[in-house]
Amino acid sequence: MKVWHGVVTGVAAYVFFIVAGAPAARVLPWLQPALSAVQLAGVEGTVWNGSAAIVNAAPVQLQQVNWRLRPWAAVLGRLEFAVDARLRGRSLQGRVGRGLFGRPYLSQVQGSVTAADALNWAKINQVGIDGVLSFDIADVQWSDAPWPAIGGSLSWSPATVTRPVELALGKVQLDTRIEDGITRGKLDASGGGLLVQGNLELQPAGNYRLDAQIQQQGDVAPEVAQFLATFATYKDGTYLLEWSDTI
């Protein structure tokens, strides 16, 4: 049995390295049916170490994409690539992979985008925002629901709401973790018109809840003051807000 185990392992390793060394442009047509939501153009190099001029994963388009196979991940039963690219002219890097019997995943994703672009990709058009979102995402877990669970950190600065009212929030920091497929985290905002400390929960279906303590630090639009007076409870100089909705 030990002999056959060694033979099978050797054959599997041989096939693995043969496929990994194949030209990526030749292998892509075989993989494309499994990548129906992803389109690559300008493919060069090998499966092991290659590049693509453009990768479309609607609604996001990546440019100057480079990948490198991480062979040690195969020991853990995963096919994993280290990827770096440009997203709207900004640097992006991370790891993408899939377990032997699991779903695709993302990890160690670092980069930044404009807040307006992120809102547009999420198809949220009720509000307008400005500033830059910088992210360091440790883990992204997908299910059959519309929204993945995300663990990591997100920084928004200078955090500015432009529509339906104008509101400067200074810097906003969101640190999240994944618990039973649900995204939970802590939200802090300082340096603007409102000082905010809160707890956020996002369900995979898009339902979210925010429990926050809010203090007014300066002049804010009358609509903001009216919102707080209407929907939050005021106590000892702090507004207590409990808000839930669906994205």
What's the average model confidence in pLDDT over 175-198?
96
Looking up tokens 């195969």 gives: 74
Nearest one of 171, 168, 161, 202 to 185, comparing CA atoms:
202
Among 27-41, 125-139, 223-237, name the one with the lowest average pLDDT: 27-41
In percent, the amount of the chain with pLDDT more than 70 equals 87
| Residue 22 confidence (pLDDT) | 62
What does the pLDDT read at residue 19? 52
pLDDT in tens, 78-112: 788 999 999 999 999 999 888 777 778 889 999 99
Q: Please say if the pLDDT value at position 14 is more than 70.
A: no
Which range is least confidently modeled, 2-6, 52-56, 71-75, 138-142? 2-6
- Mean pLDDT across the chain: 86
Q: What is the pLDDT of residue 233?
A: 95
Answer whether 227's CB lies under 8 Å from 202's CB. no
**Measuring CA to CA, which residue among 190, 184, 150, 151 is closest to residue 172?**
190
pLDDT level of residue 218 (50, 70, 90 thresholds): confident
Q: How far apart are CA 133 and CA 92, in angstroms?
A: 12
Helix (H) or strand (E) holding 222: helix 222-231
pLDDT of 197 > 80? The answer is yes
Stretch among 50-54, 142-146, 194-198 having the lowest mean pLDDT = 142-146
- Contact between 94 and 75 (Cβ < 8 Å): no
